[in-house]
A and B are shown apart, each in its own frame.
Chain A
């Protein structure tokens, strides 16, 4: 990857302008990929889901 690229697309869905009403109506599939990635990353990089990574 080059730092010259204009934009880097992240794995976080942009929900800033989504109303909570609409968020509740979203099915499981719309965010499933991002949620799975988030859960996986936390497990794989050693940050326990159940407690804080309080020390480096």
Chain B
């Protein structure tokens, strides 16, 4: 009788609050091992069902048999291997191939088995696939077999590995590259980072060769010269020190759960990612600072944890619905909202600590804004998720607990300036998103315009139908938004830029950026009377929000696409209304 994994209520609660210690993560990791074994069972069944057998299925059978022998000799080695994200991702890929009718990479298991057999010191002889003159051994490194064709025979007496007829390497040398052993001919150990801080250690591989961990939106860095490896080591070590000393809630779980970092080819910005198929792996370009490395690890491991939990307990029902994700510019599916808000729950913890350990005024401002901005996000997105009815009963419990955690005050008040900036950049993003992606029924808008012209009160009118439609309007407010964000991202740069002329900005935007809200409102009004412009509408809404409490605020926040369309419709009919008159009418 096979039972299922269970999760204690305490572990569930910890995860729902966005945390979860080593013990909780171990529960998730053990469930992942079972998941990988379950998927391996599917792949084994598929391999056995192929008739006649092929070199790939023969390699799979030999690999499975070898792995079974290793398990009998040293079960921990096999458990460690099968728990690797490489194996999860490979098995996931095999399932995808089986589902779409393409041949799975059965032979990969033979190389994985060799990796385990080498670690256990077993004798073996098995054929493994060669890719680009190399044989990747998951968790260890790559064996270079120049001149080999598609397959090479690997054999070992437990002490030395023979590859084909001419290559022989001591098994003891076939280990990850911890920067402590001399180079071995034909062997490229996967870079291993051993980070230490205050007696806590974390070992993590920098995977640069395994094709099943090269599946992110950006390609894996497959060449990492020693100087770059040293950079990664240094950044990881420093981030680990920060995590252990200041963010103990995250350090323990990351140390327990993250076994692989996948360096990504860098672009202009920091990119990072995880996959539900590869628990324990975080892909990232090299974060530019120690703080951003620590933040990235926390952010991405939140995704890992949630994916692991969702493998065990379904939290969300199938749904085609999409909604607003405050960290994105495009509409996102509900499952994406859940993943995102969970990541930001971790980020809120992170910045709540950081805002107290920073001392330079600009750093303090930045940390407080980031804390406040993402704290607001939790409330907004959990309300969306709970309001759409897409969560399972377990999911409702989970998201409710997450929301409550976000609502609780953390460690002291946030300075007023940081609150103002956080709320304004959040509002800017929300208004821009609405104008960009909210479509409205044109006939309904025309009906409202007619009522406006007749002087009828808006309360009697039915509002036009609205729905999400990608990029229904082109909105280019990037320069203004970038400057608003620069206030906390790079305060010094912001001060320098705003002290000069800003030729890319309209006069109204300049007033807004320089903090003269009344002048900005007047200028936006004047501009909008002359020409309907969604970017100016966003500016007007932001400027009005800077003025003392105004009854126009709610309608500007929630109905900006309708205000724009109504105003534009009137302009099309030759009625160049004051935008605030339209706002007052609809309010």
Contact = CB atoms under 8 A, between A and B. Distances in A.
B6 A7 contact: yes
Interface in A21-56: 21, 23-24, 26, 28, 30-31, 34-35, 37-39, 41-42, 44-56
Nearest to A30: B2
B45 A52 contact: no
Given A45-B335, A50-B96, A14 B5 contact: yes
Nearest to B341: A56
A14 B336 contact: no
A9 B283 contact: no
B268 interface: no
Interface string B76-115: 0011000000000100110110011000000000000000
B67 interface: yes
Nearest to A22: B68
A20 B78 contact: yes
A4 B276 CA distance: 28
Contacts of A18: 2, 37
A53 B276 contact: yes
Contacts of A23: 37, 40-41, 44
A3 B397 contact: yes
B42 interface: yes
B71 A20 contact: yes
A39 to B, nearest CB: 7
By secondary structure, the B interface counts as helix
B275 A41 contact: no
B333 interface: yes
Contacts of A8: 6-9, 12, 312-313, 394
Interface residues on B, range: 35 or more
B449 to A, nearest CB: 38
Contact of A49 (B95, B318, B340, B397): B95
Contacts of B185: none
A14 to B, nearest CB: 5
Interface string B195-239: 000000000000000000001111000000000000000000000
B343 interface: yes
A8 B38 CA distance: 20
Given A28-B45, A39-B99, A49-B95, A12 B5 contact: yes
Interface of A: 1-16, 18-21, 23-24, 26, 28, 30-31, 34-35, 37-39, 41-42, 44-56
30 contacts: A1-B394, A3-B13, A4-B9, A8-B7, A8-B312, A11-B311, A11-B314, A12-B34, A12-B38, A13-B4, A15-B2, A16-B30, A18-B2, A20-B68, A23-B41, A30-B2, A37-B314, A38-B35, A38-B311, A39-B99, A41-B310, A45-B316, A45-B335, A46-B333, A46-B335, A49-B99, A52-B89, A52-B215, A53-B275, A54-B215
Interface of B: 2-9, 12-13, 16, 30-31, 33-35, 37-42, 44-45, 64, 67-68, 71-72, 78-79, 89, 92-93, 95-96, 99-100, 215-218, 273, 275-278, 283, 303, 310-314, 316-318, 325, 327-328, 332-333, 335-336, 339-340, 343, 393-394, 396-397, 401
Given A52-B275, A54-B217, 19 more contacts: A1-B394, A3-B16, A7-B7, A8-B7, A10-B4, A10-B31, A16-B34, A16-B37, A19-B68, A20-B67, A24-B68, A26-B41, A38-B35, A45-B310, A45-B335, A50-B93, A54-B216, A55-B217, A55-B273
